[in-house]
Amino acid sequence: MTCTGGGVSPEARLIEERLAESRSNLQDSVSLGRRDVEERLYTIAVECRKPNWDGSGAEPISDATHSLAHSFLAALPLGSSMPTVGAEPDGQITFEWHRSAHRTLSVSIDPERRVHYSALLGASRMHGEEPFFGEIPEPIVNIIGRLDRF
């Protein structure tokens, strides 16, 4: 959990800025491949911004969806593994953590600030839909943690 916005003095604001900067630098160095995922996300947003980008009637990736996907990526817990990223024909952006046929998580971001997820962890199957307002929903954080532990 990140606590921000608590102080009003110039010193408190400086500390908050430095903490945010440190968190960003740490995430860049600890999370292998984060920069690659960000670059791929940008490429997808550019290549899939027009209707029918796949030649089969796909919906375009909106600026809102791209922005939310970027926020989702930035909100991943420090030290968590990085997902692959892709575009869906319905205009959503998908992040996927695939460890094996029986250990995988797929998260789709839509422009309405909703994340849809589906996971398979051994014999356990989980799926759902959660609002996204800048923090990764707890069920998804827990699933990523379980994938990263084993």
Write the CA distances from 116 to 11, 120, 123, integer angstroms.
40, 14, 20
Over range 78-99, report the average pLDDT: 94
H or E element that contains 40? helix 34-47
Residue pLDDT, tens place only, 49-72: 999 999 999 999 999 999 999 999
Q: How many CB atoms lie within 10 A of CB 112?
A: 10
Higher pLDDT, 1 or 57: 57
Residue pLDDT, tens place only, 137-146: 999 999 999 9
Q: How far is Cα 31 from Cα 115, in angstroms, rounded to an integer?
A: 22
- With 60 as the cut, is the pLDDT of residue 5 above it? no
Find where tokens 């996927």 sit. 96
Token readout for 129 is: 């839909």
Residue pLDDT, tens place only, 22-36: 666 655 554 457 888
* Among the listed residues 9, 94, 8, 7, the one whose alpha carbon sits nearest the alpha carbon of residue 45: 94
55 touches 106 (CB < 8 A): no
Complete DSSP assignment for 72-138? HHHTSPTTPPPPEEEE-TTS-EEEEEEEETTEEEEEEEETTTEEEEEEEETTEEEEEEEE-SSS--H
Supply the mean pLDDT for the chain: 88
